[in-house]
Amino acid sequence: MSALDLSRPPAPPPQEGEVEQRSLVPVTLAYLRRTPAIPVLLVVVVAGAVAFGGTFLSVRNFASMAVASSFLLIISVGMTFVIISGGIDLSVGSMLALGAVLAAYSARWGSGPAILIPLAVCTAIGLIQGLLIGKGRMPPFIVTLAGLLFARGLAFKVSDDGNMTHLIPEGEWVIKLGQSTFLGVGLPAWIALAVLLLGMVVLYRTRLGFSTYAIGGSEEAALLMGVRVVRVKLVLYTLTGFLGGVAGLLVAARSSSGLSTIGAGLELKAIAAVVIGGTLLSGGAGGLTGTLAGVFLLGVIENLINQIGTLSYYHQLVASGVFLIIVVSAQSLFAKRELRRAGRVT
C-alpha cells in the first residue's frame, strides 16, 4: 500500500522535489494530520474541562486516569510492534487474565513466584505463538485466536473452571506493585511509562525496531535485505506475551486478586488504540507516540462518560462505538487528503 512511507514517524526521508530543511511547523502539522488522535485528544480534554471543570481537570482525576489506562498502554505497546510488523495479536486480553490468575494463585508461595510464574507462562505461550507464526508461517490472526482460547481456558482451569477467584494473601509485597504510589501517581502508571519509553528506544533506535518496520513494509524485501524475519517475529510475539503477563500481574497486584474473566475484548481495545494512534493495520508504518495518544483518548472518553454518571452501561457502549467510528473516519479522510497532496492517489 502506497501510504506506508508517508506515515513513518522517525523523520521520513525527504520526498523528491521537497526541500531538505523543512521548518518545524509544517512537519508538526503533517505529523498531527497523520495522528489525529493528538488534536482530537486535546479537543476532548478541553471539552471535558469546560463541561466538568475541576472534577475533571484535577491532578487527582488525571492520576487515576493514568493508572486506569496503564494496563491498556502496556498491552498496546506490544500490539504496536506486532501491527507495525504487519501482524496482529488477539491473545493479549486472555493473556492478561492468565497473568492475573497465575499471579494471584502463585502468591501462596510468596511474592517472588507471584511475579515470576505469570511472566514465565505468558512469555512461553507468546514464544509458542511466535514459533507457529515465524517458523510455521501460519497467519497471526488465527494463531493468536487459538492463543486467545487457550490462555482463557488455562486461566479458567487454574480458577477451578471459573468458580473461584484466588486472592493474594495480605502482607505479600507484590501488592505494592499495584497499590503504592510515587509522586502521587500509582506505580502501574510509572511501570507503563517505563515500558513505553523502552519500547520507543527499541522501535526507533535498534535493529529489532528497524527490522519490525521493514517486515511490515514488505516481508519479501526484508528477507532479501537479510532481515532475520523468522527470528524477529518470534521475538515480537514473545514480547506481546510477556507484556500481557506484566499487565496481568499489575492488575492482580492492584486488586489483590486474579479474576479469570477480566480482559475480555481488551485485544480489540488495544488494536483500536493503536489504529487511532495512526499505525496502519497493513503494517510498515506507525509509532508509539500515536499509541500513547490513542490509549489516553480512550481513557479520557471513558472517564468523561463516567463523569456524566447517569449514563447507563449500554449508552456508554453506544457512545464509545460511535466515537470510534467518528475518529477512524476522520483519520481515513485526513489520510486520503494527505495522499492526494502527495500526488499518489488519483
What amino acid occupies position 263? G
For 53, list phi and psi in degrees, rounded to 5: 55, -130
Q: Write down the least CB distance from residue 7 to other proteins, Å.
A: 14
Tell me, residue by residue from 62 to 101, as one string, x for binding to other proteins by CB under 8 A and - for no binding.
--------------------------x-------------
Region from 40-48, 70-78, 151-159, 223-231 binding other proteins, contact rule CB under 8 A: 151-159
- In which residue are the cell numbers 492468565 written? 98
Any contact of residue 149 with other proteins (CB under 8 A)? yes
Any contact of residue 325 with other proteins (CB under 8 A)? yes
Instruction: Count the site residues for other proteins by CB under 8 A.
Output: 48
Number of continuous H segments (helices) and E segments (strands) in the chain:
14, 4
Any contact of residue 301 with other proteins (CB under 8 A)? no
Any contact of residue 164 with other proteins (CB under 8 A)? no
* 206/203 Cα distance (integer angstroms): 6
Any contact of residue 153 with other proteins (CB under 8 A)? yes
Any contact of residue 221 with other proteins (CB under 8 A)? no
Q: Which is nearer to other proteins, 97 or 114 (CB)?
A: 97
Region from 54-62, 220-228, 236-244, 310-318 binding other proteins, contact rule CB under 8 A: 310-318
Q: Which is nearer to other proteins, 35 or 256 (CB)?
A: 35
Among 22, 108, 207, 315, which residue sits at the site for other proteins (rule: CB under 8 A)?
A: 315
Any contact of residue 320 with other proteins (CB under 8 A)? yes
Our CA angle for 84, 193, 256, nearest 5°, is: 110
Number of Cβ atoms within 10 Å of the Cβ of 119: 21
* 197: three-class secondary structure by DSSP: helix
Q: What letter would DSSP give residue 124? A: H
Q: Write down the least CB distance from residue 159 to other proteins, Å.
A: 8
Among 16, 170, 313, 343, which residue sits at the site for other proteins (rule: CB under 8 A)?
A: 313
Region from 66-74, 216-224, 300-308, 326-334 binding other proteins, contact rule CB under 8 A: 326-334
Take residue 131 and report the three cell numbers written for it: 514459533
Among 22, 49, 161, 206, which residue sits at the site for other proteins (rule: CB under 8 A)?
A: 161
Any contact of residue 271 with other proteins (CB under 8 A)? yes
Q: Are 175 and 256 within 8 A, CB to CB?
A: yes
Any contact of residue 112 with other proteins (CB under 8 A)? no
Among 179, 181, 307, 316, which residue sits at the site for other proteins (rule: CB under 8 A)?
A: 316
Contacts (Cβ under 8 Å, ≥6 apart) of 182: 190
Contacts (Cβ under 8 Å, ≥6 apart) of 99: 118, 119, 121, 122, 244, 245, 246, 247, 248, 249, 251, 252
Q: Write down the least CB distance from residue 340 to other proteins, Å.
A: 12
Any contact of residue 328 with other proteins (CB under 8 A)? yes
SS3 of 3-62? CHHHHCCCCCCCCCCCCCCCCHHHHHHHHHHHCCHHHHHHHHHHHHHHHHHHHCCCHHHH
Any contact of residue 312 with other proteins (CB under 8 A)? yes
Contacts (Cβ under 8 Å, ≥6 apart) of 73: 192, 195, 196, 291, 292, 295
Q: Which stretch of DSSP H or E encloses residue 167? A: strand 166-167
Residues that bind other proteins (CB under 8 A): 88, 132, 136-139, 141-143, 145-150, 152-157, 161-162, 268, 271-272, 275, 280-282, 312-322, 324-325, 328-329, 332-333, 336
